[in-house]
Amino acid sequence: MNYELTPEQQKLQDTVRAFADEVVAPAAYQYDTERRLPLDIIAQMGDLGLFGLPFPVDIGGQGKDYLSLCLAVEALARVDQSIAVTLEAGVGLGIQPIYRHGTDEQKQRWLPDLLRGRALAGFGLTEAEAGSDAGATQTTAVRDGDDWVINGTKQFITNSGTAITSVVTVTAVTGQNGDGAPELSTILVPTGTPGFTVGESYDKVGWHTSDTHPLGFVDVRVPQSNLLGEQGRGYANFLRVLDEGRIAFAALATGAAQGCFEEALRYAKERNVFGRSIGSNQHIAFKLATMQARVHQARLCYYDAAQKLVHGKPFKMEASIAKMVCGEAAMDNARDATQIFGGYGFLNENPVARHYRDSKVLEIGEGTTEVQLMVISRELGLTA
């Protein structure tokens, strides 16, 4: 595998990094405090083509590869994880299922606005008793004439309640397989459908700017044509979505680890104690060296997984390794950066403090560290 970026990829990375520094970073503390998704910034990301990066030009995308999306996510996450996850989830959980499994009619209806960042879509998988164990899904969809009637609840759904959210893909039990296991399917539910309610935004530890809500479905009626993909293939379809999403999530975590390192390095060079910079102390210097090593390791992990995906090679295990390694790198770097900053690192106006709050979810979202260990073990043929 060649991990050297192409000139086109390097240009994209530089462009998004500049956008992050000049547009996202100056507004990050304000929007974090207001706990509000800045739709003006999302619109600018749409104008840059970020939501359409890994999709063909003939449907309105940018015609780039999946690594290019990851580079953009990493560059944004350096300064604001909430903005980065809005892009990551908007593409991986919002657009990908429709692009990959949608009918021509579904694609024509939803993709134009989603690919341009004029709309966002959510993916309603997680429930109170079903997340890692999707077989425990309680939401149901029953055929009634030419309609599906959906009842149930979802939780922790990203991009589900914004002013520009247009549709949520919902996993629901639509029957029973021959072995008695529930048959899972995915169904598109447009925003504003009667009976579809978006609960109050969660009071989260971090990712304050990211839009996350519980969802309710009470006798929600949508046309049969809103079935996304084949009936009963919902489980298989979202497994591919999750595998791909873990790579972009790993890129986000790498960006967070990089952002913490950059801030801590700058501060260590500027902060003087007893007549010299704190970075001249071996203890601080070694801590920064370790932080840099974590970033390098994390980036190589997600590059490897992304390149395997791009070249059509198996990548399930590599995606889980990347997600686990990168998430831990982000959390460890956030802790060390906060320690280097001392009291200043405990102030929310400091990017390091926000990374410290935000990074914990990187060991939980898109499958916990324990789930990644389970996936890796299974790929090694060690566990059932």
State how far the Cα of 258 lies from the Cα of 337, in Å rounded to an integer.
11
Which tokens hold the place of 322?
Answer: 């990347």
Q: Give, in order, the Cα–Cα distances in Å from 254 to each of 44, 71, 197, 269, 288.
A: 23, 10, 35, 23, 15
Query: Which stretch of DSSP H or E encloses residue 51?
Result: none
In the chain, the N- to C-terminal Cα span, in Å, equals 31
Chain-centroid distance of CA 221 in Å reads 29
Which tokens hold the place of 18?
Answer: 């500049």
Q: Of 240, 247, 241, 362, nearest to 308 (Cα)?
A: 247
State how far the Cα of 294 lies from the Cα of 330, in Å rounded to an integer.
8
- Catalytic residue status for 200: no
Strands (E), 33-126: 120-124
Alpha helix (H) residue ranges in 102-197: 104-115
Do 252 and 89 form a contact (C-beta atoms < 8 A)? no
Q: Of 345, 370, 356, 340, nearest to 132 (Cα)?
A: 370
State how far the Cα of 78 lies from the Cα of 252, in Å rounded to an integer.
8
Quote helix, strand, coil % in the chain, to nearest 5: 55, 15, 25
Q: Which of 8, 366, 370, 379 is the catalytic position?
A: 366
State how far the Cα of 269 lies from the Cα of 249, in Å rounded to an integer.
31
Enzyme catalytic residues: 366
